[in-house]
Amino acid sequence: MIMVLAGRTTTGRKPYPAEFRRDVVAVAWQDGQSRAQIARASGILESRPNRWLKAANQHDGQPAATSAPAAGADLEAENRELRRRIQQLEQENDILRRATAYFTRDVLPRRSPRWSVTSPPMEYLSR
Sequential pLDDT tens for the chain (127 residues):
455 555 665 566 677 888 888 888 888 888 777 888 888 888 888 888 888 888 888 876 654 444 456 677 888 889 999 999 999 999 999 999 999 888 888 766 666 555 555 566 666 656 5
How far out from the chain centre does Cα 121 lie?
62
Which residues on neighbouring strands pair with residue 8, listed in sequence order? 5
Kindly list the structural domains of the chain, giving each domain's residue range(s) and its CATH number in brackets, ordered by start: 17-96 (1.10.10)
First to last CA, the chain: 113
| Per-residue buried b or exposed e for 69-99, using 16+ beta carbons within 10 Å of the residue's own CB | eeeeeeeeeeeeeeeeeeeeeeeeeeeeeee
